[in-house]
Amino acid sequence: MAEKSGRKIICNNKKAYHDYFVNERYEAGLQLFGTEVKSVRQGSVNLKDSFCRIDKGELYAYGIRISPYEKGNVFNRDPLRPKKLLMHRKEINKLFGLVSQKGFTLIPLSMYFTKSLVKIELGLCTGKKDYDKREDAARKDDAREIDKVMKARNRYDF
């Protein structure tokens, strides 16, 4: 899947959109080792249940699973090790100030290639309540039903 902007999307975090409201989006680089990059190129990445935290002025992503490269033998790293995210110091300080406020968290939304670099899209998110999730599901069901009716109606209008 390649988009017009030169991005090749590796994976999306659909659960994040279900569980959180995304207020702002940020782009960060991802520090990976050789066998991890090869595994990412194969698409064996899972962002489900991942989150980001700022430790000692550095940004880390936890819970991102990059499966071991099958031909990597002793060079493979732990699939669930914390991955360091690369951003400018000013951006990290700004995010630290926002995340320290009540209710905000950093969630990885998608991982993609820009040219040969692995990038990750972060969302500054607030959690949804159960009634918000039900409301979104009902809205999607309504839209799906409307599309179905319009498609059926257009099929017979010649």
Q: Is there a single domain that holds both residue 133 and residue 152?
A: yes
Residue ranges in the chain whose pLDDT is less than 50: none
Q: Which of 1, 3, 5, 21 shows the shortest CA–CA distance to 109?
A: 21
Q: Is there a single domain that holds both residue 102 and residue 73?
A: yes
Which pLDDT does position 27 carry in this prediction?
92
* Residue range of the domain that includes 134: 129-158
Which pLDDT does position 4 carry in this prediction?
57
Contact 125, 20 (CB under 8 A): yes
Q: Is there a single domain that holds both residue 115 and residue 137?
A: no
Is 2 a member of any domain? no
Which pLDDT does position 1 carry in this prediction?
53
Look up the CATH number of the domain holding residue 60: 2.40.280.10
Which pLDDT does position 38 carry in this prediction?
83
